[in-house]
């Protein structure tokens, strides 16, 4: 991989967009490498993912404008689909994904963070969808996910006005869960990921699916989705171990991921 690195620390996988000279901007190559990296995650052992950017200035500053500037209508649509396919893969990835946002998260970078389950950021983080100032719309899900996360009015204000916001406001409007000093960001991300990873992995996956699938349907259908995923847990060794440990007043020995 030229622009994406992947490392595993225990039960946590860490994906880093590694193009710091371009502020980790997304081009076709980065998207392809990110896609392949996701395909290579060993889901039997890795229980949570962290996505971050290389360096101390930028998570992902956006899509690569030098690549986009000469695209035709059809090519623009194809480029949007390429980004959307990768980000949708992140959004529906079986295990939780945490965005550790270490600086600029603009355009495609903001959209990348929006596709993750949980967002935390450093104090120097800047978020925004500046596309209308370039004559385009957000193309990697920004018009859809931002409104779902921060509300329609705030999303429209940010997108229509190409308005960037700092970490404090991102926290205030619910775009990020927490804000940390830059030097503490990855420590906090790993701590959060480990807190997820120590729990029953099938149950965690089922929770993710129940939340995400349930939000797309009405409440009656959503409850039905939850019931099925709840019932599914009772055929796992994890459920037997978890409940036995509780009744026996001991700590769980291990969750088996089966």
Helix intervals (H) in the chain: 28-39, 65-68, 73-91, 108-114, 142-150, 152-160, 167-172, 185-197, 201-214, 219-233, 237-247
Determine contact, residues 145/174, Cβ cutoff 8 Å: no
73-97 burial, b for 16+ CB within 10 Å, e for fewer? eeeeeebbebbbebbeebbebebbb
Of the candidates 33, 77, 111, 253, the residue annotated as catalytic is 111
67 catalytically annotated: no
Q: Tell me which residue of 146, 150, 116, 148 sits closest to 130, measured CA to CA.
A: 146
Contact 95, 48 (CB under 8 A): yes
**What is the rounded CA–CA span in Å between residue 40 and residue 13?**
11
CA 219 to CA 7: how far, in whole Å? 39
Catalytic residue, chosen from 56, 75, 131, 183, is: 131
Q: Are 162 and 130 in contact (CB under 8 A)?
A: yes
Q: Find, among 160, 51, 27, the residue nearest to 100 by Cα.
A: 51
Q: Do residues 130 and 158 make contact, with C-beta atoms less than 8 angstroms apart? A: no
* Known active-site residue 226: no
Q: Which residues are catalytic?
A: 111, 131
């Amino acid at each position: 991989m030229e622009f994406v690195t992947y490392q595993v620390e225990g039960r946590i996988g860490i994906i880093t967009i590694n193009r710091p000279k371009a502020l980790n901007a997304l081009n076709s190559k980065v998207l392809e490498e990110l896609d392949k990296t996701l395909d290579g995650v060993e889901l039997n052992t890795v229980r949570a993912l962290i996505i971050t950017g290389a360096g101390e200035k930028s998570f992902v500053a956006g899509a690569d404008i030098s690549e986009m500037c000469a695209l035709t209508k059809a090519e623009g649509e194809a480029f949007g689909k390429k980004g959307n396919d990768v980000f949708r893969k992140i959004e529906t990835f079986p295990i939780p994904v945490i965005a550790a946002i270490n600086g600029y998260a603009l355009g495609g970078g903001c959209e990348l963070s929006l596709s993750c389950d949980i967002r935390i950021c450093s104090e120097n983080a800047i978020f925004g969808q500046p596309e209308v100032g370039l004559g385009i719309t957000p193309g990697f899900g920004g018009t859809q996910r931002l409104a779902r996360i921060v509300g329609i009015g705030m999303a429209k204000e940010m997108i229509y006005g190409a308005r960037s916001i700092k970490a404090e406001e991102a926290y205030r409007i619910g775009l990020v869960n927490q804000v940390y000093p830059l030097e503490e960001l990855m420590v906090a991300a790993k701590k959060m990921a480990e807190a997820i990873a120590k729990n029953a992995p099938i149950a965690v996956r089922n929770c993710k699916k129940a939340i995400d699938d349930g939000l797309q349907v009405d409440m009656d259908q959503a409850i039905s989705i939850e019931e099925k995923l709840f019932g599914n847990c009772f055929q796992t060794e994890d459920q037997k171990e978890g409940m036995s440990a509780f009744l026996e007043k001991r700590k769980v020995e291990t969750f088996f991921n089966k």
